[in-house]
Structure 1
Amino acid sequence: MGAPSTTTSDRAARAHEPLAAHAVMETADVDEAQHVVTDVYVPHELDSLGGRPLDARLNSIASERLTLGYLVYGANASLDLPPLEHCYHVNLTLNGRTEVTRRAGRERAVTEAGRSGAVLLPTEDSTVTWSPEAVQFAMKFPRGPLEEHLGGLIGRPVTDPLDFDISMDLSDGPGAALMAAVRFLQTEIDRPGGISDSPLARAQLETYVMTALLHGVRHQYTDALHAPRAEDRPTLVRQALEFIETHAGEPFSIPQLAKRLGVSTRTLQVTFARNVGMTPSEYVRDQRLSRVHAELVTGDPSSTSVTECAAAWGFLHQGRFSEQYRHKYGELPSRTLRNG
């Protein structure tokens, strides 16, 4: 069916939409819209009320940290999404309204223009129903970068998927700061000579958007995020963290590390767990998983072996490694390498 017919005034208005230089879709066809949005975001089923044509368009731009899109369906539309697995999806409603459900309808939220948004989770099914006039910033955040960024903010690795609240208030407080951060990112991408011409500057601004999201929507690590940073961690813990992070690629045992630091294994384990929130062995494994992930993201699928990469970082049991990797990143290592 292709693109809907547009007037000269429509084309002029769309030329000034957010991310207009990054248009990837303009269509009346439901199947085409589903295909394109699946490619940019996640698999889903799309229906329009009574099978009516859409007036859909999507402008989007992506990096390894996030995908930012300006999405319109232009009709009553409903999206059914299975668990997202490897990412979080955030909708910031700019116009109209949507209704969002999670966990087979047990959680529900209504988003309104400029006032509220919603979060879809890696571990839960979701449904999003759009009004004809609804317009949203649709954002995808891969699990690995977002969870690792949170770990850096709270001073310990994040080992479980984030259980964000279903909705956030965009009109005040941290939610308003999130909307401001996203709008600033979008404005700078659209501005000639803006941050799109500076990869480092863009990375810094995208990281700020990630921070704003983590502060703007409540989750199970919110209290830790808001707590004062423990700058006075015991010297023993600081030394253990430094050694593990510097020597993650080398073979060593926790008793060997304790001996190097001049304490008993029990003292190291108890002090480390109390201050870091996990055992030294768990932290070593988390660091090594992060290094494997980084190599797979940048690796060439034609020449990079998941098995060899895992073994290089001390993971010799492939089945156990794959399960640990999937738990942390929401996808199998082979998929990370393939989608890099």
Structure 2
Amino acid sequence: MMAFQFLDGSSKVFAAANPFQVSEYVRENVGTHSLRLSNGGAATASLSHRRAGTLDLCRLRYGAQARIVSEGLGDIYHAQFILQGHCSYRLAHTTLDLPAGHVLVINPDDPLDLTYSDDCEKFILRIPSSMLDDTCAEHRWFKPNERIKFSPEPHKFEDIDSLLLLLRLLCAEAESSMATPQLLQHYNRVVTTKLMVLLKHNASMVTPTQHAPNFERLVNYIERNIKLELGADQLAQYAGLSLRSLYMLFEKNVRTTPKNFVRQKKLEKVHAVLNDPCQPCPNVTAVALEYGFTHLGRFSELYKSAYGVLPSQSMRCRQAQAGR
């Protein structure tokens, strides 16, 4: 199905090995974990491991029922392809069953509790989180502020044929003496892209419509109408975007929501007025209300958080400057 043999001596190969010997190598090179065997004292394990550009390729079996437990994977994603046998993945409130022909992506922050049958053999694709970040940037996909997180839902091999084909090609190139680092990195990008396209995660691959105004034009609209109540619906209508695309546009450009961005722009205007003796300013309350801050206590908190002083202190400094 996805079998590959490492032909030269640059990869690490254990054949007819003790399971704990394999486990120690995996712990050092693939991911920290603890191994618990059930009646596996005489079990025969095997492992093949190869670096392919930024990605790691690892095929292994323990030869006995094995339970792998780990607090997390650091900064690495593990895509686990069950080639034969059976795997159970214990989560907080449920247990997922993965018979042969299924793949599951385990996120870096997810605790591991995996139990493999004695005949289980798996292929692991090990992906640094930076690789996924670069893929999102390359394709202009919108990833959340937090880490990209894949769904724990297993996928059947038959539903990801194109990904399996790419992995076979990557394995072949990893074994080839003709493969260059540039070629392997090219395959890395293609494989990672296909993985994100086919499997479920919390990044969005929807891009703004081609006819929407650019972000700078939208900012200009906000600044021209800064004293009005500007909600996300109004901004989306002006920009010709769905609400989802509007939020993604703000996330990409300023890493915040439309509401927070508008509020920050209003605070900037109030701050400018309170600190400029040349601008009319009867009192703090009047200026706050003029720019839409109707909850004065909350306004004071926001102002101090942004500028380190209360608005009343800015007003006193302004009056002191005007009296000189």
* TM-score normalised by length of structure 2: 0.62
How many angstroms does 1:92 deviate by? 0.8
After TM superposition, the structure 1 = structure 2 runs for residues 247-326 of structure 1, keeping only pairs within 5 Å, are: 264=223, 274-278=247-251, 280-282=253-255
Q: Deviations over 1:226-273 (max 9, x none)?
A: x36644452345x99xxxxxxxxxxxxxxxxx7xx8984998x97897
Find the aligned partners of 1:170 and 1:192 in 2 and give their Cα distance. Answer: 32
1:132 matches 2:118:
yes
How many residues matched? 238
Which amino acid is the alignment partner of residue 184 of structure 1? Answer: L
Q: Deviations over 1:127-183 (max 9, x none)?
A: 11112222211121111221331243344354222221224323333x222222212
Partner of 1:179: 164
Alignment RMSD (CA, Å): 3.3
Q: Deviations over 1:285-317 (max 9, x none)?
A: xxxxxxxxxxxxxxxxxxxxxxxxxxxxxxxxx
Cα 1:164–1:274 change in 2 (3 A) is closer
Partner of 1:303: none
How many angstroms does 1:68 deviate by? 1.1
Work out whether residues 108 and 166 of structure 1, in 8 Å CA contact, stay in contact via their aligned partners in 2. no
Partner of 1:188: 173
Find the aligned partners of 1:266 and 1:81 in 2 and give their Cα distance. Answer: 53
1:110 matches 2:97:
yes
How many angstroms does 1:85 deviate by? 3.0
Cα 1:18–1:263 change in 2 (3 A) is same
Cα 1:218–1:207 change in 2 (3 A) is same
Find the aligned partners of 1:61 and 1:263 in 2 and give their Cα distance. Answer: 53
Find the aligned partners of 1:76 and 1:264 in 2 and give their Cα distance. Answer: 64
Cα 1:277–1:262 change in 2 (3 A) is closer
How many angstroms does 1:23 deviate by? 2.6
Corresponding residue SS for 1:278: helix
Cα 1:158–1:265 change in 2 (3 A) is farther
Match of residue 147, structure 2, among 141, 158, 161: 161
Which amino acid is the alignment partner of residue 120 of structure 1? Answer: I
Which amino acid is the alignment partner of residue 170 of structure 1? Answer: K
Which amino acid is the alignment partner of residue 204 of structure 1? Answer: H
Which amino acid is the alignment partner of residue 90 of structure 1? Answer: A
Find the aligned partners of 1:43 and 1:181 in 2 and give their Cα distance. Answer: 28
Work out whether residues 131 and 192 of structure 2, in 8 Å CA contact, stay in contact via their aligned partners in 1. no
Cα 1:280–1:154 change in 2 (3 A) is closer
Match of residue 203, structure 1, among 170, 185, 205: 185
Cα 1:124–1:40 change in 2 (3 A) is same
Work out whether residues 47 and 77 of structure 1, in 8 Å CA contact, stay in contact via their aligned partners in 2. yes
Q: Deviations over 1:166-213 (max 9, x none)?
A: 24323333x2222222122112222453xxx22111111111111121
* TM-score normalised by length of structure 1: 0.60
Q: Which runs of 5+ in 2 are unaligned?
A: 227-231, 240-244, 257-324
Match of residue 148, structure 1, among 134, 140, 154: 134
- Bigger-Rg structure (1/2): 2
Match of residue 56, structure 1, among 45, 57, 60: 45
Partner of 1:212: 194
How many angstroms does 1:279 deviate by? 7.0
Q: Deviations over 1:48-86 (max 9, x none)?
A: 113523322221222563211111212211111212231
Find the aligned partners of 1:228 and 1:280 in 2 and give their Cα distance. Answer: 13
Which amino acid is the alignment partner of residue 40 of structure 1? Answer: N
Which amino acid is the alignment partner of residue 109 of structure 1? Answer: L
Partner of 1:90: 79
Work out whether residues 100 and 109 of structure 1, in 8 Å CA contact, stay in contact via their aligned partners in 2. yes
Which amino acid is the alignment partner of residue 141 of structure 1? Answer: I
Higher share of residues assigned helix: 1
Identity %: 17
Find the aligned partners of 2:224 and 2:137 in 1 and give their Cα distance. Answer: 25
Q: Deviations over 1:111-140 (max 9, x none)?
A: 222x21122122221211112222211121
Match of residue 101, structure 1, among 90, 97, 119: 90
After TM superposition, the structure 1 = structure 2 runs for residues 231-246 of structure 1, keeping only pairs within 5 Å, are: 231-237=210-216
Work out whether residues 25 and 36 of structure 1, in 8 Å CA contact, stay in contact via their aligned partners in 2. no
